[in-house]
Structure 1
Amino acid sequence: MSAECHIASLLIQCRPNALEALAATIGAEPGVEVPITHPTGTLIAMLESPDQGTIADLAHRFTGLAGVLSCNLVFHGIDGETGPPAPTADAGKANAEGVNDERA
């Protein structure tokens, strides 16, 4: 079982007169922080979630909020203890079946 943590940041452009209300609404979502706002109508939202679906859902919801002009994913990373991929039965074979490797 993996304990993944998806971290993302969104660049959100909005109408300047809606900035304060949108920052409060977006920042009130669980796992969301709004560390940066700019009076021209720009805000950065930092998201932390156990899965990427939640991040996609939030970005879609934010896009539909009144006053939002655009919402763009700037960064998405996965932090967690997923471990290395499990080896396959063919691990270690030099060539895939049917491939002629003439480097030798």
Structure 2
Amino acid sequence: MSEPIGDPRRENVLHIASLLVQARPQRLAEVAAWLGRRPGVELGAEDPAGKLVVVVESEAEAAILGLIDALQQRPGVLGAALIYHQVLDAASADQPQETLPCQ
């Protein structure tokens, strides 16, 4: 049986998350620059209309949630939403992962 995410007994895990950020177009560069200075954050795509796709890697789920909260407080940000989240074993995170069929 797997342990629930956030269980303090889980060690050596890597959280991978994808966020969609909607910002005012005139503040997009500022928001993107702020994100670019955050550790473990990578900008995946940018739309001049004000959308950013952000990929986050962290050892702690709380860091991802904190980033979302901080984003939602940034001037010019209209919203930030978690789109994808996966927990990997940190020791094998760089290895190809088994994919399971959708049911």
Q: What TM-score does the superposition give when structure 2 sets the normalisation length?
A: 0.75
Structure 1 unaligned blocks of 5 or more: 83-104
- Work out the number of aligned pairs and report it: 82
The answer to whether the Cα contact below 8 Å between 1:47 and 1:55 also exists between their aligned partners in 2 is yes
For the pair 1:54 / 2:63, whether they are aligned, the reply is yes
Going from structure 1 to structure 2, the CA distance change for 1:37 and 1:80 (only over 3 Å counts) comes to same
Going from structure 1 to structure 2, the CA distance change for 1:34 and 1:81 (only over 3 Å counts) comes to closer
Deviations 1:40-62 (A, max 9, x none): 00001110000111100011001
For the pair 1:69 / 2:82, whether they are aligned, the reply is no
* Residue of structure 1 equivalent to 2:3: none
- For the residue of structure 2 that corresponds to 1:25, the secondary structure is helix
Q: CA deviation at 1:2?
A: 2.9
* Residue of structure 2 equivalent to 1:11: 20
User: For 1:39 and 1:11, how far apart are their aligned partners in 2?
Assistant: 14
Residue identity over aligned pairs, in percent, reads: 35
The answer to whether the Cα contact below 8 Å between 2:72 and 2:80 also exists between their aligned partners in 1 is yes
What is the RMSD of the two structures over their aligned residues, measured on CA atoms?
A: 1.6
- For the residue of structure 1 that corresponds to 2:44, the secondary structure is strand
Q: CA deviation at 1:78?
A: 0.4
- For the residue of structure 2 that corresponds to 1:2, the secondary structure is coil
Structure 2 unaligned blocks of 5 or more: 1-9, 92-103
Instruction: Point out the structure with max Rg over C-alpha.
Output: 1
The answer to whether the Cα contact below 8 Å between 1:27 and 1:45 also exists between their aligned partners in 2 is no
User: For 1:44 and 1:9, how far apart are their aligned partners in 2?
Assistant: 7
Letter in 2 for 1:6: H
User: For 1:78 and 1:43, how far apart are their aligned partners in 2?
Assistant: 22
Structure 1 runs (4+) deviating above 3 angstroms are none
